[in-house]
Chain A
Amino acid sequence: MRTKRRNRVIFVSSLIASLSVAFTFIVLAMNENVDFYYTPSDLTGSKIINKDSLRIGGLVQEDSINISKDSLETNFLVTDLENSIEVYYEGILPNLFKENSGVIARGFYDYSDGIFYAKEILAKHDENYIPKEVKKALVNDS
């Protein structure tokens, strides 16, 4: 009887131990790989956001796309209709990337030159997709 109880104590405590190890591991992994989402206004505002990796979203401003003729470099402005931010990206642009369309860029914001260096550009599958903040801004405007 006593050994049985001891076995159960060992079993339960090892279960708790392994669960908490797994949980810590998961939380750590999650914290490292979560990207926060900001609007151009958040970044140009007074609060300084220092993160290695974040996402910005908005519309690609009209007449702002500047594609290099012999490399993969692109510059364009992302706007939430209040403020806009210059984005620099080197790579292939997604299919639905165009003026006045929703776009999300992942990368980091350099406060010294005011440029957002994107590692990844996402445009949504859906032609009608507009980022939430922009939708809000559009509704407020009209």
Chain B
Amino acid sequence: MIPELGNFLLIFSMINSLLLICIAFIYPPKDKRFFLSASLVTFLAIFLSFIALEVSFLTDDFSVLYVATNSNPNLPIYYKFAALWGGHEGSLLLFLLILAGWILVFVFFNEDQKYSSAFMNIVLFALLAFTVFLSNPFERLLPISSISGSDLNPLLQDFAFTIHPPMLYVGYAGLVIPFGIAMNFLLNQEKVKQLEPIRSWSVVSWSFLTLGISLGSWWAYYELGWGGWWFWDPVENSALVPWLLCTALIHSSIATNARQIFINWTLALTILSLAGSLLGMFLVRSGIITSVHSFALDPDRGIFLLLICFVIVILGFSLFFLKSDSRGLKTDMGIYSKEFMFFINNAFLVTLSAIVLLGTIYPIIYEIFSGGDQITVGAPYFNMVTVPFALILLFFQAIGPLTKWGGNKIDNLNSIGIIIISSIILSYFVSYLFFSFSFYEFIGNAIVLMLIQSLAFLAFKSFHSQRKINFSMIAGHLGLAILTFGITISSLNSVEKEFVLQKNESVLVGSSKITLENTQSVQEDNYYGDRVTFSFQEEDRILKLYPERRFYPASRMETTEAGIYPSVYKDVYISLGQKIGENAWAAKVQIKPLVRFIWLGAIIMFLAGLLVRTNFKFK
């Protein structure tokens, strides 16, 4: 009964959303209350339908196909709750809930945006229809064939996983708001001022995208058991592409707000970033790519998602080409002006996203055009191509904030010079004294130092002249500097070693000694396995690490739980390989300096983005 109710509510919200679209275009209501109440009804219907599915999960209603394939009676209650978004249909429902929530929030806070919410509802309606007709989570499994249900993928039975998809979805779905605002502007062009809200909305989306991606990276780091934090996996890439586009959008809209330039560019970016996030969903959900995220769908459903993506891009761009004019195209950018810095920023960000997208879909394109030959594009490609672009971008990130709008000569020339020179000298010493000196290390540290100095200079200047300080921007950029520092140091100074150890045998890694102490067996409700105790001795300090190998009987899957000793300076990371004989194990140890800075930086970026509306004034 409850699943049927959920299904009904979902269909109801779909019709409601369609009605809103029709009324908004045919009979545009003057009153915002219409949009507010319609959006509220849609949101509540989806919310109740979400609750209905949640109830089916918590009561182990295995007559619902989706529950039967993603849950299990032995699953701890917290994971039963989160198992809702462990598969394709449920995660779509969560996405819809968040999308409807965003639209409601937008309508609540914005006044005269006639068609905006209608355009947002087009996206919502398309995805609702997709869910109802092709990916219905309430589908029954009759007659009931399995009483116990299969299981939530063991790799997903984990805290970070449970919050990673919702955060990412908040980011993805939020991109519908800039799109709606831009479409509304194109339809009834009044004043450029209408585009102003794009900045704040895209910053908030961006914050959640940042958080979602970094949670995913953190999860992959400790859960997959390989000790990497970024694999250039197609799924990671398809989240990175919208992130890069959204970053470009933020900057472009800042320029639009401040100088009424790049208007068309901002409009195009709103379409591209929404398309990027939908394309990401298609790549992840279509089953074209096999990974922990893809749910082995039949391709037809994936194609429908691609179709939705195309329709929205075509809709957006046809409106764009029909309605946009050359307003804001005539910009005389001096090469030292802030305008030019924003241009560089956008050119590089969009290029970066194109590079990542190309590498991600190239195997699919190749397979189609070569008649079935399969290839993979390796991580070296991505590292080789993105790193130089990213470094140049970061260099300009340090200089950009010190320039002036419309400037014809370099403002703050002396300060910029001092910052560059002192960073180079400092980086030389830092890299030489503390780390193994190498070219990339030197460059990376120099750029991080430049960024920090430039931000400090900016903060000091606004403090000195008692101007408003753009706290959100300074903190966000600082977060990126910290993240870059973590990436530079951890990827260039990590040590790793693979070995086979018997009980009480030791191995030397660098100057540290690792000993296998003993093996115990563990038994929990949903898994059993072995826990191995290693001691890690470094000078006078002895640490204990407890990596595990687990077997989840419900899904017949084996996983590795890495033993990690985290600290600010470095992580010690041991993952178990195959068991060899009674007491011997193959294992891999990694020592990763400053790897925590990567996620620390990301968290600072997230928090900074949330403060977008606050500009403090000293005094």
- Interface on A for B, CB 8 Å cutoff? 22, 25-26, 29-30, 32-37, 55, 67-72, 91-93, 95-97, 124-129, 132
Question: In chain B, what residue has the closest Cβ to A127?
Answer: B557
Q: Which of A29, A55, A125 contacts B291 (CB 8 A)?
A: A125
Say if the beta carbon of B381 comes within 8 Å of chain A: yes
The interface residues of chain A lying within 8 Å CB-to-CB of B499 are: 72
* CB neighbours of A68 from chain B (8 A): 580
Q: Is the CB of B359 within 8 A of A92?
A: no
Instruction: Check A32/B380 contact, CB under 8 A, given A37-B373, A126-B296.
Output: yes
CB-based closest 5 A-B pairs = A92-B577, A37-B374, A33-B381, A125-B292, A33-B378
A92 surroundings in chain B (CB, below 8 A):
498, 575, 577-578, 586-588
Does more than half of chain A's interface fall in helix, strand or loop, or is it mixed?
loop
Complex interface bits, B449-465 against A, C-beta within 8 A gives 1, otherwise 0: 00000000000000000
Query: If the complex has contacts A92-B498, A125-B292, are A36 and B555 also in contact, measured as CB distance less than 8 A?
Result: no
B residues 332-384 near A (Cβ < 8 Å) are 351, 355, 358-359, 362, 373-378, 380-381, 384
B325 on interface, CB distance cutoff 8 Å: no
A33 & B155 in contact (Cβ 8 Å cutoff): no
- A128→B296 contact, CB < 8 A: yes
Residues of A within 8 A of B577 (CB): 72, 92-93
1/0 per residue, CB under 8 A from A, across B582-593: the answer is 001011100000
In the bound complex, residues from chain A placing their C-beta under 8 Å from that of B557 are 95-96, 127
Minimum CB distance partner of A124 in chain B: B290
User: A125: which B residues are within 8 A, CB to CB?
Assistant: 153, 155, 290-292
Which residue of the partner chain A has the closest CB to B575?
A92
Contacts of A129 in B (CB 8 A): 290
Residues of chain A within 8 A (CB-CB) of B384 are 29, 32-33
Known: A30-B362, A72-B498, A91-B498. Is A35-B375 also a contact (CB below 8 A)?
Answer: yes
Min CB–CB distance A17 → chain B (angstroms): 14
**A contact residues around B575 at 8 Å (CB):** 92
Interface membership of B385, Cβ < 8 A: yes
Known contacts A127-B557, A128-B296, A30 near B359 by CB under 8 Å:
yes
| Interface status of B158 (Cβ within 8 A of chain A) | no
**Contact indicator B500/A72 (Cβ below 8 Å):** yes
The answer to whether B351 and A22 touch across the interface, beta carbons within 8 angstroms, is yes
Interface centre among B380, B384, B560 (most CB of A within 10 A): B384
Q: Which residues of B contact A (CB under 8 A)?
A: 153, 155, 225, 290-292, 296, 351, 355, 358-359, 362, 373-378, 380-381, 384-385, 498-500, 549, 555-560, 575, 577-578, 580-581, 584, 586-588
Please determine whether A127 and B355 come into contact, CB atoms closer than 8 angstroms. no
| B580 and A69 within 8 A (CB) | yes
Query: Do the beta carbons of B290 and A69 come within 8 Å of each other?
Result: no
Interfacial chain B residues near A25, Cβ < 8 Å: 385
Indicate whether A29 sits within 8 Å of B385 (C-beta atoms), given known contacts A92-B498, A95-B558, A124-B290: yes
B580 / chain A contacts, CB cutoff of 8 Å: 67-70
Contact call B381/A127, Cβ cutoff below 8 A: no
How far does the alpha carbon of A95 sit from the alpha carbon of B580 in the complex, in Å? 14
- Residues A69 and B581 in contact in the complex (CB < 8 Å), given A22-B351, A26-B355, A128-B296: yes
Give the docked Cα–Cα distance between A51 and B381 (Å). Answer: 17
> How far apart are the CA atoms of A97 and B555 in the complex, in Å?
15
A residues near B588, Cβ cutoff 8 Å: 92
The residue on A at minimum CB distance from B585 is A92
CB distance from A11 to the nearest CB of B (A): 9
Contact B292 A71 (CB under 8 A): no
The residue of chain A having its C-beta at the shortest distance from the C-beta of B588 within the complex is A92
Contacting pair B290 A34 (CB below 8 A) = no
Sample 7 A-B pairs with CB under 8 A, ordered by A number: A22-B351, A30-B377, A35-B378, A92-B586, A92-B588, A95-B560, A96-B557
In the complex, which residues of chain A have a beta carbon less than 8 angstroms from the beta carbon of B355? 26
Smallest CB separation, A28 vs chain B (Å)? 9
Asked if A34 contacts B578 (CB within 8 A), the reply is: no
Least CB distance from B425 to A in Å reads: 30
Give bound CA distance, A22 to B348, whole Å: 11
The answer to whether A127 and B385 touch across the interface, beta carbons within 8 angstroms, is no
Which residues of B sit under 8 angstroms from A37, Cβ to Cβ?
373-376
Cα distance A34–B363 when bound, in Å?
9
Taken together as a complex, chains A and B put the C-alpha atoms of A101 and B380 apart, in Å, by 28
Query: Which of A26, A71, A91, A128 lies in contact with B358, CB distance below 8 A?
Result: A26
Contacts A37-B375, A92-B498 given; 7 further ones with Cβ under 8 A? A22-B351, A32-B384, A34-B375, A36-B374, A70-B500, A95-B558, A132-B374
B376: chain A residues within 8 A (beta carbon):
34-35, 37, 55
Which residues does chain B contribute within 8 Å of A95, judged by CB atoms? Answer: 225, 549, 557-560
Query: Are A127 and B555 in contact, with the CB atoms below 8 A?
Result: yes
Inter-chain CA distance A29–B382, complex, in Å, is 8
A32 CA / B381 CA spacing, docked (Å):
8
Min CB distance B158 to A, Å, is 14
Which single member of A36, A67, A72 contacts B373 (CB below 8 Å)? A36
Q: Which residues from B are CB-within-8-Å of A91?
A: 498
| C-alpha spacing A3/B577, complex, angstroms | 68
The answer for the CA separation of A126 and B225 in the assembled complex, in Å, is 15
A67 contacts which chain B residues (CB < 8 A)? 578, 580
Nearest chain-B residue to A19 (Cβ)?
Answer: B351
Q: Is the Cβ of B560 less than 8 Å from the Cβ of A33?
A: no
Report the bound CA distance from A30 to B383 in whole Å: 11
